[in-house]
Chains A and B, each alone.
Chain A
């Protein structure tokens, strides 16, 4: 939001420094939060590696992620130049982890964005307009949240045999409920505020009120949920893939690399650790960023 010039001047004279906006303040707060910065760093690094290295590996080293080599089956980490060993088809585990990470992170970023987009839109509409529209959207929310999370996803995944794109849409179409409920609740109280009344008195349209006056005020909460959702999506996607319902082999994902692991619990133990650790670390980083954002964007912080 643009701050009023006279108020900004006031801030300058009173505190003897440049008045800072809410967002800038939150940004400065996060910069001091070492754990959050560390988590952001890990995520950035992982994103960079997973998005850039496949191109390099294919173009420069002529490596093929699905290249099988039967004599090289179940090589231990470090053996014959395979840093993390090979799987039951002699495929390089490190390569597959990088490619799998690309899928997981793509889904985390895109599906969480789409989820939140749907959630905000429906939440704003339901909360602001109320009446039948609210009834309809609330019905959708109640219905979707009455089905145990994974069940519907399982059928949808089985019915539409997902590619990454389809999976992103399906995850978002079934996952917007939480955000929507949150936004709706906020809007219900926000729309009664004086500044909304003032905007309406000035002749602002519903669209203007929603986008310029209400949306900025729910945005900080939504950002926190979005990072948590991103973490959850990685867990859900890996679970689906593990069950064989997610992205289908030979495309590697961190989940489907573990699908068959039960059949080589003895010969290929080394294959089981890394995918899980990577899932855990990534999810943990998303959660930590969410925690950090929550602290930074909490207005009550100023009262302490």
Chain B
């Protein structure tokens, strides 16, 4: 099992570099000079442009720029001003040593900005994941129990529609209904729990209800379908027939055989769900003005803050890769058949 996990960990390395290369390539192929977008003055002086390009490392060829971004530039000295002496302009440590560079607009380390926003996104994501799995699995089991009845049909229709609804639109509808018309729930923002005890806890919760419901919808729709398929498949296995044949109570069959085996693969979808949730959070955070990573990346993209954009993509991907690894690991631990292979 340890060897399996080692192999998976090794596989993650080229993927990680692929992510860095890809996000770098897209940014570097951006038409137009980033300097022109950064400087506010319409006609910056040539010296100012040169200084800024040097500071950002834009005067280097693309491959060097990539290496600087990845490894930092303190291991090399470059003769920048042509006086024959090498010097290191704007020291950076590089992505691999935890330095994602400086945000151009906010003039703060990218990593700090991201780390600041992670808890908000995690709060939204974890809540949506828990809710999505709870409701999704329950609906899936229900659909399997009442296979081919109207309950099954209803859940199927609901999950297909749940997948087809654009999340941002559903968010807007909820805002109109519960926020504007009924005035029951706050329509934007996030509250921290730490402020004033019980009342602020309730307030924090009220701010979460709408974004979490919308975000969990896709998970509910997918997990309910998946659970249903898995359980129905298990019910056709020989060992279930044996259990029935030996007169086992159907409740015991359901809990000891069908659910235990049927829900195992469902657990593996925790990993991929993280990706869906991260992507979903981009839209949901915009709709509900939730101050998380999704909102950060959108603001960064709008203000052409490329270091921040690249940093967010890499960090989101790292979270995703780690999540998938962990869920794979969990699957191996839970399922002895895979452990023994």
Q: Which residues of A contact B (CB under 8 A)?
A: 139-140, 142-152, 154-156, 158-160, 231, 235, 238-239, 242-245, 255, 258, 261-262, 265-266, 269, 272-273, 275-276, 279-280, 283-284, 287-288, 291
In whole angstroms, how far apart are the Cα atoms of A284 and B162 in the complex?
A: 10
When C-beta atoms are compared, the residue in chain B nearest to A157 turns out to be B301
Q: Check if B19 sits within 8 Å of A287, measured CB to CB.
A: no
How does the 8 Å CB contact mask read for B279-291 relative to A, with 1 for contact and 0 for none?
1101100110000
Given A147-B313, A280-B165, answer yes or no on A287-B23 (Cβ-Cβ < 8 Å): no
CA distance A266 to B187 in the complex (A): 13
* Cβ 8 A contact of B309, one of A155, A235, A287, A291: A155
Contact A288 B160 (CB under 8 A): yes
Stretch of B45-53, B78-86, B131-139, B167-175 at the chain-chain interface? B167-175
Contact of A142 among B11, B21, B27 (CB under 8 A): B11
Enumerate chain A residues within 8 angstroms of B209, measured Cβ to Cβ: none
Q: Chain A contacts of B77 at CB under 8 A?
A: none
Instruction: List the interface of chain B (C-beta within 8 A of A).
Output: 11, 14-16, 18-19, 21-23, 26-27, 29-31, 160-161, 163-170, 172-173, 175-176, 179-180, 187, 275-276, 278-280, 282-283, 286-287, 297-298, 301-302, 304, 309, 312-313, 316-317, 320-321, 324
Q: Are A147 and B320 in contact, with the CB atoms below 8 A?
A: yes
B295 to chain A, nearest CB (A): 11
A275 to B166, CA, bound (A): 10
Closest to B21 in A: A143
**Given A155-B301, A272-B176: A148 in contact with B166 (beta carbons within 8 A):** no
Q: How far is the CA of A280 from the CA of B287 in the complex (A)?
A: 18
> A159 to B27, Cβ gap below 8 A?
yes
Within the complex, which residue of A142, A144, A258, A269 is in contact with B168, where a contact is CB–CB below 8 Å?
A258
Q: Are A160 and B31 in contact (CB under 8 A)?
A: yes
Chain B's closest residue to A149 (CB) is B279
> Given contacts A146-B18, A148-B276, A148-B279, could you give 5 more A-B pairs where the C-beta distance is less than 8 Å?
A143-B14, A235-B164, A239-B168, A275-B169, A287-B163
**In the complex, residue of chain A having the shortest beta-carbon distance to the beta carbon of B315:** A151
Taking CB atoms, residues of chain A closer than 8 Å to B170 are 276
Closest residue to B161 on the A side, CB-wise? A284
Tell me whether A158 and B301 are in contact (CB under 8 A). Answer: yes
| Chain A residues whose C-beta falls within 8 Å of the C-beta of B163 in the assembled complex | 283, 287
In the bound complex, do residue B23 and residue A155 qualify as a contact, i.e. CB atoms below 8 Å apart? Answer: yes
CA of A261 to CA of B302, assembled, Å: 19
Q: Which residues of A contact B166 (CB under 8 A)?
A: 235, 238-239, 242, 255, 276, 279-280, 283
- Minimum CB–CB distance from A104 to chain B (whole Å) comes to 11
Give the top 8 A-B pairs by smallest Cβ distance, nearest first: A143-B18, A276-B169, A148-B278, A150-B279, A283-B164, A284-B164, A158-B301, A159-B30
Could you tell me the distance between the alpha carbons of A231 and B221 in the complex, rounded to whole angstroms? 15
Query: What is the CA–CA distance of A147 and B320 in the complex, to the nearest angstrom?
Result: 7
Task: List chain B residues, Cβ under 8 A from A158.
Answer: 301-302, 304, 309
Most chain B CB within 10 A, of A140, A145, A148, is at: A148
Give A288 to B156 CA distance when docked, in angstroms.
Answer: 12
Chain B residues near A276 (CB, 8 Å)?
165-166, 169-170, 172-173
**Docked-complex contact B164 and A231, CB < 8 angstroms:** yes
Q: Identify 22 residue pairs between A and B in the complex whose beta-carbon atoms are under 8 Å apart, listed by A's number.
A: A143-B14, A146-B16, A146-B18, A147-B320, A149-B276, A149-B279, A151-B313, A154-B298, A155-B27, A158-B301, A238-B166, A243-B283, A258-B169, A265-B176, A265-B179, A273-B173, A276-B170, A280-B161, A280-B166, A280-B169, A287-B163, A288-B160
